[in-house]
Structure 1
C-alpha cells in the first residue's frame, strides 16, 4: 500500500470541503439517491519516484469527479474551476509527507447516456516525499 495515497486523499478532501462549503458534498462513496451536484474523490495511480539518497517519494495521479444535473455545462465547469483553484500548486498539509508539488493535469466534461447528467473529470498529479 502507498504510504502517501491516504494522507493525500484526506488533504484533498479538506481542501475541497473548504473551497466548496456545505453547498456541494465531497464524497468518497456515493450514497443511493445522492442529490446533485456533488464531487467524488476518485481513482488514483501511485508510482515510485526515485530520489537521490535514501529519501522515498511517490507520484500520485488523482482523479476528481464532478456530477451535475444542471441543464447545461455551466455548473460543472464552474465547479471544476473552483477545484482547480483550490488544488493547483497549493501547499496542502499532508500527514507524514512533504508535498513537493500538486499540479493540474487535465479536465474533461461528458454528458452521460441518460442525457441529463453532466460528468466532469479533473486530474491532478502530486509528488510526495516521506517527511
Structure 2
C-alpha cells in the first residue's frame, strides 16, 4: 500500500490556505513556524494511517492533527478558528493525489493551556478515509 502521508498533507495545506474565512482569522498556516510568526496561527501536526482495504480496493484510514495557537485571553479566538477549520474540512471534498472517495470528519479536539500563560492551544484531529486510485 502506498502511503498517503505527503499527498494528504499537501491537500490539507492547500485546502486551508485557500479557505478565505480561515485565512482572514490567522496570520498563516504552517508546517514549520517561522520565528517571526504572529499569533494566531494554525500548524500542521502528525498524520497517522491504518490500512483500511475493502474487498478488491486498497484503502487507508488516516488521522490528521492540526493545532490552533492563540494569545487571546481565554479560548474564544481559538474556538472561532476551530470553527473555520471545520467549515473548510469537516465533511467537505478533499482532493488527494493518487486517491479517490476521500471523506473527512472532525474526530475530536482538546483545549490546552500552554506552559506559557499567554498562549492558548487547541489540538484538533480529523479522520480521513481514502481509497487508492
2:9 is the alignment partner of 1:27: no
How far apart, CA to CA, are the structure 2 residues paired with 1:68 and 1:14? 22
CA spacing shift, 1:111–1:2, aligned 2, 3 Å: farther
CA spacing shift, 1:119–1:57, aligned 2, 3 Å: same
How far apart, CA to CA, are the structure 2 residues paired with 1:109 and 1:2? 33
Structure 1: gaps of 5 or more residues: none
Greater Cα shift, 104-113 or 30-39? 30-39
Q: Could you tell me how far 1:95 is from its partner in structure 2?
A: 1.0
Measured on the aligned residues, the alpha-carbon RMSD in Å equals 1.6
The structure 2 residue matched to 1:52, chosen from 48, 51, 55, is 55
Q: Could you tell me how far 1:4 is from its partner in structure 2?
A: 1.3
| 8 Å CA contact 2:43, 2:68 repeated in 1 | yes
CA spacing shift, 1:30–1:99, aligned 2, 3 Å: farther
Q: Could you tell me how far 1:99 is from its partner in structure 2?
A: 3.7
TM-score w.r.t. the length of structure 2 is: 0.90
| 8 Å CA contact 1:91, 1:99 repeated in 2 | no
2:75 is the alignment partner of 1:73: yes
| 8 Å CA contact 1:2, 1:46 repeated in 2 | no
TM-score w.r.t. the length of structure 1 is: 0.91
| 8 Å CA contact 1:63, 1:123 repeated in 2 | yes
Partner of 2:8: 8
Q: Which runs of 4+ in 1 moved over 6 A?
A: none
